[in-house]
Structure 1
Amino acid sequence: MMSYSFCMLTAAAALLVPCHALNCPGLPELSDNTTLGGLLRLLEPILGPTWPFRREKLPEPQVPMGLQGLPISRNTEFSDVLVNFRQRLSRLEGALTLNGKITKAGEKILASNGKKVTFSSALESCEQTGGTLATPMNKEENKAILRIVEQYNTNAYLGIKESETSGQFEYMNGTPLNYTNWYQYEPNGKGTEKCVEMYTNGNWNDRKCNLYRLTICEF
């Protein structure tokens, strides 16, 4: 059985062809090689734009406010978020490569591979994964490092070194310490102990750099 749409199309075509033969006004030209699609377009002024299917037109996609006409590279807020995400992902990837204990303190990710090595080897291991030796700059970060120290139950090197002035300690980039947690009467190496370790109670002690201590990195 022929569909209703096909019958309507046949009837309309039958009316359109003789009308063109009589040069009816208001109708477009009908060529000898008009296709079905072309015939439908010719019938559109009579039958409407959705005939014969009667389907609603799909709505146009909406562009989010603030992004109209702007390429991603020019949208500052989006670019900043993307850069921050990439940085955080990079730090996390570095921490995961150590395949050990991982914790978080503020914006820092702290991780250990569980290995005990000299200070220079520990620093090198951290830098190879995109980080540096764990460096507590406040009480919260000190507690986070301590959690890893407690899990391994052994002392760990910190990213702190003695400056050129005997008895004065600084961060690896040469800036003075803004937070300390020295054990009682420490540091007392007086130039002979140039590195710093964390005890299993969270306190610090100056120590020689060639001893084997736990590696903890920050990212």
Structure 2
Amino acid sequence: QICLFASTPDLPSMDVDLSDLLPTFKKQIWNLTDDRDRLNAKVTNMIQELERLRAVKTCPEGWKLLSSSCYFSSTAVGTWETARSDCRKKSADLVIINTKEEQDFISALNKQYWIGLSDREQEGTWTWVDGSPVTLSFWHTGEPNNSGGEDCGETVTYGQWNDQRCDYHRPWICEKQLWS
């Protein structure tokens, strides 16, 4: 047991038992340690959230997001091959329409666009640019009809599909996966 006595004329007389203060100091240290641990946990969570947000990809400027894909509708016009080449330069490809939601999204543009559909490999067998078959289609009435060697797919007003000669000049829609 330690006792402190002061006998200087400037200091009031003190008779303090330091062991009486020990529980109070221990409690304060415990509280400060607890506060520090909570703050460290918050900082760790904030750093993890920041890293997660940095990793979240967004569409490039000028592209539109739908589900997990980004879409670019060109203002330039070109042949189907020119369109595909431009999309590839953008690390994308001509749009592949897999869902009704995607079809509605394209339809809302209400314009003729090249899409990633053709029967160039085998006449009458329409496939997407990735080689997959057409499983959901939105052909305009009477299409595809191959009138005059039409081997490339386009949207027409209100989004229905039409087969068209690949050397016609149209704007196009590129698609890229957000997470690729």
Question: Would the alpha carbon gap of residues 44 and 193 (structure 1) be closer, same or farther in structure 2, given more than 3 Å must change?
Answer: farther
The residue correspondences of 1:112-131 to structure 2 (distance < 5 A) are: 112-131=73-92
Q: CA deviation digits over 1:1-27, x for unaligned, max 9?
A: xxxxxxxxxx94869xxxxxxxxxxxx
Deviation at 1:128, TM superposition (A): 2.4
Paired residue secondary structure (2:83): helix
The residue correspondences of 1:12-27 to structure 2 (distance < 5 A) are: 12=4
Return the TM-score normalized by structure 1. 0.56
The residue identity in structure 2 corresponding to 1:118 is: T
Pair 1:48-2:22 in alignment = yes
Deviation at 1:190, TM superposition (A): 7.0
Quick check: 1:50–1:56 contact (8 Å CA) kept in 2?
no
Q: CA deviation digits over 1:111-149, x for unaligned, max 9?
A: 31322222122222222223221121122211101112x
Question: Would the alpha carbon gap of residues 46 and 160 (structure 1) be closer, same or farther in structure 2, given more than 3 Å must change?
Answer: same
The residue identity in structure 1 corresponding to 2:137 is: T
Give the aligned partner of residue 204 of structure 1: 161
Quick check: 2:152–2:166 contact (8 Å CA) kept in 1?
yes
The residue identity in structure 1 corresponding to 2:143 is: E
What is the number of residues matched between the two proteins?
Answer: 154
Identity of aligned residues (%): 25
Task: Structure 1 unaligned segments of length 5 or more: list them.
Answer: 1-10, 16-42, 65-71, 73-77
Quick check: 1:158–1:198 contact (8 Å CA) kept in 2?
yes
Paired residue secondary structure (2:57): helix
Quick check: 2:120–2:152 contact (8 Å CA) kept in 1?
no
Pair 1:161-2:118 in alignment = yes
CA distance in 1, matches of 2:30, 2:162: 76
Q: Which has the bigger relative contact order, CA under 8 A and spacing at least 6?
A: 2
Q: How well do the aligned residues superpose, as a CA RMSD in angstroms?
A: 3.7
Give the aligned partner of residue 89 of structure 1: 57
Larger radius of gyration: 1
Give the aligned partner of residue 131 of structure 2: 174
Return the TM-score normalized by structure 2. 0.67
User: 1:132 pairs with 58, 73, 93, which one?
Assistant: 93
Deviation at 1:163, TM superposition (A): 4.9
Task: Structure 2 unaligned segments of length 5 or more: list them.
Answer: 8-16, 42-47
Give the aligned partner of residue 11 of structure 2: none
Deviation at 1:169, TM superposition (A): 0.4
Quick check: 1:132–1:159 contact (8 Å CA) kept in 2?
yes
Pair 1:186-2:124 in alignment = no
Deviation at 1:50, TM superposition (A): 6.2
